[in-house]
Amino acid sequence: MILAHGAGAPMDSPFMDQLSADLAVQGIENLRFEFPYMVRRREDGRKRPPDRQPVLLAAFEDQVSRVRAELGNDVRLLIGGKSMGGRMASLLACEALTAIDGVVCYGYPFHPPGKLDRWRIAHLSEVKVPLLVVQGTRDPFGKPAELEAQGVISGITRLAWLEGGDHDFQPTARQPERQEDLIRQASAETRQFVDGMLG
């Protein structure tokens, strides 16, 4: 799996570090990369907004081409990521890319928080491979009741809810689970998705 980071945090954020490690425990080898704007931030320390969508997609596609060239065509290749990274993966999977076998989005940004008039789901019906979305039930970018009101969202193969999780899979203080537990659950959901896909 090729994993992309979210808009505000780099590929080695605590969330991305644990997700990568937990996926590996589940037998899903993965690599991470950074979009150009984050590479520049790492170089000069200046925060900047994400690149425009064509730049983000070109960077992601470059990673897919490199990995596929290195691994060959016999290995299943998934793409995915956290929030914006997952959204870019889903957009990339709308193209006729035979190199990609599946997409996993962790905390999909269905809409900006509080802006239910700006849904980002129109392209999902065009995703050409199986798509898993793992979402916290308290995620302000898309909660269960909001998605239920939308009806069936075409293109999503499986939607897995993490009870009490926010956009970073942080549970409530009252829950016995910690963020680490919910990230581990997300990794287990990914394993089940891959096994079902392979089947």
- Pick the closest to residue 5 from 37, 44, 52 (CA basis): 37
Angle, CA 37 vertex, CA 79 and CA 78 arms, to 5°: 5
> Dihedral through CA 189, CA 131, CA 90, CA 166, nearest 10?
-40
Name 104's bridge partners: 80, 132
pLDDT at position 36, please? 98
191 neighbors 28 (Cβ within 8 angstroms): yes
Name 102's bridge partners: 78
- What is the secondary structure of 144-188 as a DSSP string? HHHHHHH---TT-SEEEEETT--TT----TTSS--HHHHHHHHHH
pLDDT at position 199, please? 65
Report pTM.
0.96
User: Which superfamily is assigned to 2-198 in CATH?
Assistant: Alpha/Beta hydrolase fold, catalytic domain (3.40.50.1820)
User: Please, what are the averages of pLDDT over each run of 10 residues along the chain (199 residues)?
Assistant: 97 98 98 98 94 97 95 93 98 86 97 96 95 98 97 96 98 97 98 89
